[in-house]
Amino acid sequence: MHGWMGKMLRVDLSTRSTKIEDIDEEILHLFLGGRGFGVYLVYTEVTPDIAPLDPENILAFCAGAMTGIGVPTGGRASMSTLSPLTGTIFDSNSGSQFGVRLKWAGYDALVVSGRADSPVWLEINTEGAQIHPADHLWGLEIPSAVEQLKARNSAVVSIGPAGENRVLFSSIADESGRSYGRGGVGAVMGSKNLKAILATGKPRSTIADQEITDFVNYEAGKMVKASPRTSQGLPEFGTSVLVNLMNWYGVLPTNNFQIGEFEQAENISGECLRDKYLTKRGACWGCPIGCKRVTRTKNEKGEGPEFETIYALGSSLGIDDFETIIEANYLCNRLGMDTISCGATIACAMELTQRGALASELAFGRAELLLDTIQDIACRKGLGDHLAEGSKRLSVRYGLPETSMQVKGLEFPGYDPRGMQGQGLLYATSNRGACHLRGNMLGPELLGAPKMLDRHAPSGKAGILIVLQHTSAVIDSIGMCKFVNFAIGDDFFARLMTSITGYEYQVQDLQLAGERIWNLERLFNLRMGFSREDDTLPPRFLNEPLKEGGSAGHIVHLDEMLAEYYRFRGWTEAGVPTPKKIAELGLKEIVKEQSHA
């Protein structure tokens, strides 16, 4: 076998048993690895009677065929599970070196199930897995826990206090904050009493055709250098380059999406970050782009923040104190929490307070309360305990569900869909909830990549979005980063997959694999009780036009786009994949038990 390792490691923490299993090569070929293989595992092993924090739920860390191979940005891996925040299938993708070391240890996947009776950490190496007591690590913030376990030729990921306390948007991260960030995957790990995982492995080559791979790599490198986005914008500013742009377009969420333009955007912009706080640039393993920021405030140093964090802990809270935003980001990283959901949930609490539904001191613009609030959430202290459940549950608890800016329970990233119709459709249809990483329309609607579309036009968006959704599933599955897609397209992915795995992949084969992955995720969600009713947006986006800024006067025309979307997908009007579609995608055997099919 080339590209993949053909092995996976299973750990059952309840019985403290571990075993190495062979993986059917045909499954890897069909699902590509990474997110695709994770979807397959969760679909086949997590049944509807299992709750996210039950011992029976699985955590599946999956590397892709490109992970650790040496292709540009090929340092990524996925973590799939049933999310406690959304109740959907969920995969979280990270550029942490953990995926690379897992692959080098000889495994395409690590699947953890069960629950240890006391805190443990896992050691992964070529021999298999060893389970060690972790009482001394429990309660530690992530950098401290990782520091204690770090070893030569290894990578460690850990949960922080938030994951231990089962905060529903807690994350799993390495010492620098590179996270499996969204969906509460940290709470799943915490529910298993698993504090940390260390993977040890040395580089190994599994490439089918090294010469062709080198050639395609060389050409890909040329394209990365030629694109100002990958050679200048992202390296120089990181993702924070988007703050001023989104503000100019009038889609920078402000005060919990009540406004699309933040007057003080300049104070929290990429330019400001570079000029005042940046100390060093960095990159994930194997990445020639290098969007990572190493920063310093008066009191601390650390990594980030990303654009999404700046929106969630900044403009969406009406806060322009960049020092506080940066330190809030460091704090979330140390405690192990997704900054987007954390900020969006605090924004929801601020609006609940603004509207008199919640008695709290929280208010838009009150930066001085931010750090304590984050700490309270991680420790589930006072109001923090309610916030730790995410914005959907919080808004319902206080009687104003419309104040929660989420889809399927997952809080929005930093692009108001009223200025981007296709993005609105993306949010509504994403299998893991409101997410920009499932076929981002930012490229075609705002940046002109690959071509500039009319951002306010709903017509024709469904087809384009579907292609992007498939491409994003492919990138997540093969183990590369979506940013490389600014420079190289599907044809490069196909050529690399061919030269690395030895299977003949054409662009259409990869699109089909992406569609297969998307449909299996959809089928899982349907099995869990989701339906067309969940493919929607908060009423604010459907009924309340933005009053000012670059997207003033617009709402999302979802119904029109959604009908077109289902038709394009070959689903029924209820949003269910038809038996014909399931057969076309080669999923018949896998989903044979499911009544929806």
Positions that interact with another protein (CB under 8 A): 222, 225-229, 231-233, 236-237, 241-245, 269-271, 447-452
Instruction: Take residue 197 and report the two structure tokens written for it.
Output: 């995982």
Question: Residue 76 Cβ, how far from another protein at the closest point, in Å?
Answer: 22
Nearest approach in angstroms of CB 154 to another protein is 36
Q: How far apart are CA 249 and CA 551, in angstroms?
A: 6
Element at 267 (helix H, strand E): none
Question: What distance in Å separates the CA atoms of residue 574 and residue 279, rounded to the nearest whole number?
Answer: 52
Nearer to another protein, 229 or 366 (CB): 229
Any residues with CB less than 8 A from the CB of 165 and at least 6 apart, and which? 190, 378, 379, 380, 388
Minimum distance of another protein from residue 373's CB (angstroms): 29
Q: State the nearest-atom distance from the C-beta of 228 to another protein, in Å.
A: 5
Instruction: CB nearer to another protein: give 226 or 396.
Output: 226
Any idea of the CA torsion for 449, 453, 457, 458, to the nearest 10 degrees? -50
Nearer to another protein, 188 or 291 (CB): 291
CB nearer to another protein: pick between 449 and 542: 449
User: Tokens 């403290």 sit at which residue?
Assistant: 16
Nearest-approach distance from CB 506 to another protein, in angstroms: 25
Q: How far is the CB of 468 from another protein (least distance, A)?
A: 16
Of 592, 596, 573, 593, whose CA–CA distance to 583 is shortest? 592
> Which H or E element spans position 293?
strand 292-296
C-alpha–C-alpha distance, residues 245 and 250, integer Å: 9
Name which of 492, 578, 586 is nearest 31 in CA terms. Answer: 586
Nearer to another protein, 225 or 547 (CB): 225
In the chain, count H helices and then E strands. Answer: 25, 17
Of 14 and 232, the one with the shorter C-beta distance to another protein is 232
Pick between residue 219 and residue 361 the one whose CB is nearest to another protein. 219
d(CA 239, CA 339): 14
**Residue 232 or 508 having the CB closest to another protein:** 232
Using alpha carbons only, give the angle 125, 126, 129 rounded to the nearest 5 degrees.
45
Would you put residue 151 in left (φ > 0), alpha (ψ -120 to 50) or beta?
A: beta
Q: Render the burial of 445-467: b for 16+ CB within 10 Å, e for the rest.
A: bbbebeeebebeebeebbebbbe
Q: Closer CB to another protein, residue 220 or residue 383?
A: 220
Residue 223 C-beta: closest distance to another protein, Å:
8
The least distance separating another protein from the CB of residue 213, rounded to whole angstroms, comes to: 20
Per DSSP, 573 falls in state T
63/221 Cα distance (integer angstroms) = 22
Residue number, 51 or 449, with CB nearest to another protein = 449
In this complex, which beta carbon is closest to another protein, that of residue 1 or of residue 447?
447
Asked if residues 195 and 159 have their Cβ atoms less than 8 Å apart, the reply is yes
Cα–Cα distance for residue pair 228/240, rounded to 1 Å = 15
How near is the Cβ of 270 to another protein at its closest, in Å?
A: 6
Please enumerate in sequence order all residues whose Cβ is within 8 A of that of 493, keeping only pairs 6 or more positions apart, or say none.
Answer: 474, 475, 478, 480, 507, 510
Lookup result for tokens 């298999």: 128
C-beta closer to another protein: residue 451 or 580: 451
Distance of closest approach, residue 248 Cβ to another protein, in angstroms: 8
Work out the number of other CB atoms within 10 angstroms of the CB of residue 307. Answer: 28
Please, what is the minimum distance in Å from the beta carbon of residue 84 to another protein?
A: 35
Phi, psi (deg, nearest 5) at residue 302: 180, -160
CB of 464 closer than 8 Å to CB of 472:
no
For another protein, the closer of residues 5 and 246 by Cβ is 246
Name which of 125 and 244 has its Cβ closer to another protein: 244
Residue nearer to another protein on the CB measure, 227 or 345 = 227
Evaluate whether 581 touches 574 at the Cβ level (below 8 Å).
no
Which residue pairs, CB below 8 angstroms and at least 24 apart, start in 103-106?
Answer: 103/5, 103/63, 103/67, 103/68, 103/77, 103/201, 104/68, 104/199, 104/201, 104/202, 104/203, 104/204, 105/199, 105/200, 105/201, 106/5, 106/7, 106/201, 106/204
- In angstroms, give the least distance from the CB of 492 to another protein: 15
Output the smallest distance, CB 449 to another protein, in A.
7
Q: Which long-range contacts (CB under 8 A, 24 or more apart) does 349-353 make?
A: 349/383, 349/387, 349/394, 350/255, 350/256, 350/317, 350/318, 351/255, 351/256, 351/258, 351/400, 351/403, 352/394, 352/395, 352/398, 352/400, 352/403
Coil, helix or strand for 194? strand
**Least distance (Å) from another protein to the CB of residue 450?**
7
Distance (Å, whole) CA 464 – CA 444? 9
